Amino acid sequence: MTFMLDDILRSRRDTRHFTDEPVPDEVLEKALRAGHMAPTVGLTDATQYYVIKNKEVKQEIKKLFQKYNQKASDLIENETQRDAYTALKLEAIVDAPLGLVVGYDRSVLNTFTIGTIASNDTIRFSAVCAVQNIWLSLTEQGYGMGWVSILDHYQFKKLIALPEEVEPLGYFCIGKPATDYGHQPMLQQQGWKQKSAAPTVTEVKKVNRSTYPAFEQSLNKPIENELLEEQIQLIIDRKTKPAGALGILETLALQMGKVFKTTSPEIKHPHLVVFAADHGIAQHGVSAYPQEVTGQMVKNFTEGGAAINVFCKQHSISLNIVDAGVNYDFPPNLPIINHKMGRGTRSFLHGPAMSADQVQTCLFKGSEVTNSLFRAGCNTIGFGEMGISNTSTAAVLMSLLCKYPIEQCTGKGTGVAGENLDKKLLILNQAIQNYTGSREPLAIMAHFGGFEILQIAGAMLQAKQNDMLLLVDGFISTVAFLCAYKMEPKVKSNAVFCHLSDETGHRLLLQYLDAQPLLQLKMRLGEGTGCAIAYPLLKSATSFLNEMASFDSAGISDKDQ
């Protein structure tokens, strides 16, 4: 029996070439039974199967593949390698007699599920186990299967009308193999790459007890120099204008002078940092977009294609991207700061999103980002975020930290409306009702927080320690500031609230903080876009303070003369 299994394992291929021989129903049924025998976390039976035989459907799926495959080809810089990639046959969507979609139903997470507390990914891993069983069963029966993963899963899901709560792993081509590829993997046969001869195995021989140090605040600085404040205000008042005529710009100039501890403040090496992470609560359908969009948008940031890229370039602001906990593994050569805490938080519907130690580590990692920029000469730092479902996380944090009803804190986020918004509110309300822990801020942050939100909070606290100006974007960044403020209220003196978001709850949160936003443009994009758009106002504030003539220098009489 072992010998037969070894034969099946060795002969299993990711097939791309098929005959036109139909797949008998009994062959498919046996393979799907094998899939159903695979391990399933908590016996949820979350794995779902969809069979596709219709030619029109296959043609449309092929178009999706071709669009994404072209994008993959365009990313290959080496022309020879790109030509080799283009020559590969990577799909058989139309050629194979049968198509199969394997997915998983994340609605099983709406109730407590054994095996999902540490990671929601176990639902998906169960589906992957089913795929392997199906593959081996088909191989044993003399048939083959090919996995097509180069698809925009969001568009793919819409195309085949998958239920909102079902997430596809990919598209699988099934049929009678037209070749055995010379008893080797197809990519090896075609010269793309050689498969290693043996597995890589490392024995772990000792316990690694290294940990990140707990985040420590050291804001015990001397009382603000009241004389400096009087000097700056006098300089502002002596400019060739009526007192207060430049409105908020005068307030900004005074604040920046106090933060930088000078009567002639200048912005030096401004940076905007986007922290990205995924959230376990996304598995419950609280967003209009799938979780995969977080990783896709991070890659878009690195390619310069997002709104924040455009605005940072426009205003000569350096942009940094931090992977705080995205459910995707990025190549090490991408310009991303790797502070990954995990592949997203756990769902806070039935348990904590993270541990108390992880909260401290997030704060520490955020402070490291700020310190590295500070050492490079930066004195002004803006904060943005990216993370599907982080409006849900932010809404619950605001509700509990400010003691407001969740309904006043929850908005449409990425576009949730109508019945879906009602569902979002229902889930968030249930999560709050399920929580029986401490009402202390750090305990609330651990149970309901997001990796990116708490890393931003740590970065903001460090900016205060370093006498840096910190720019707060929209709703989620302001909730991150709220977390920092709950730990150290003095951080507010260094904060500029760049705009009033169109997201429900932001106006109320700014009122709670007694904060005046610079702009109101009905924006709710995030990414730090509000910071970048408000940045010219900061430049204008320093310009008038440092360059505008005074009554004395211009020889102009003011109203008191």
pLDDT of residue 290: 84
pLDDT of residue 214: 67
Average pLDDT (262-285) is 95
Q: Domains for the chain: give ranges and CATH numbers.
A: 5-110+118-182 (3.40.109.10), 268-539 (3.40.50.10210)
pLDDT tens digit string along 411-436?
A: 866 667 778 888 899 999 999 999 99
Catalytic-role residue among 250, 452, 503, 527: 527
% of the chain exceeding 90 in pLDDT? 69
Q: In the predicted model, is pLDDT for residue 157 greater than 90?
A: no
pLDDT of residue 224: 57
Separation of alpha carbons 277 and 281, rounded Å: 12
Separation of alpha carbons 113 and 262, rounded Å: 57
pLDDT tens digit string along 450-483?
A: 999 999 999 999 999 999 999 999 999 999 999 9
Strands (E), 137-222: 144-148, 166-175
Q: In the predicted model, is pLDDT for residue 222 greater than 60?
A: no
Give the Cβ contact number of residue 23 at 10 Å.
Answer: 21
Structural tokens at position 391: 């409006």
Q: In the predicted model, is pLDDT for residue 221 greater than 60?
A: no
Structural tokens at position 507: 């106006």
Q: In the predicted model, is pLDDT for residue 220 greater than 90?
A: no
Q: In the predicted model, is pLDDT for residue 120 greater than 80?
A: no
What ranges in 267-384 are assigned the alpha helix state H?
Answer: 292-302, 307-314, 356-375
Q: Does the annotation count 527 as an active-site position?
A: yes
Cβ contact 129:1 at 8 Å: no
Residue partners of 14: CB distance under 8 A and separation at least 6: 145, 146, 147, 185, 186
Q: What is the mean pLDDT of the chain?
A: 91
Q: In the predicted model, is pLDDT for residue 1 greater than 50?
A: no
Q: Regarding predicted confidence, which is higher, 273 or 292?
A: 273
Q: In the predicted model, is pLDDT for residue 217 greater than 80?
A: no
Residue partners of 104: CB distance under 8 A and separation at least 6: 46, 47, 48, 123, 124, 126, 127, 166, 167, 169
Find the Cα–Cα–Cα–Cα dihedral 441, 447, 452, 454, rounded to 10°. 20
Which range of 159-168, 179-188, 346-355, 477-486 scores highest in mean pLDDT? It is 477-486
Question: What confidence tier does 191 reach under pLDDT thresholds 50, 70, 90?
Answer: confident
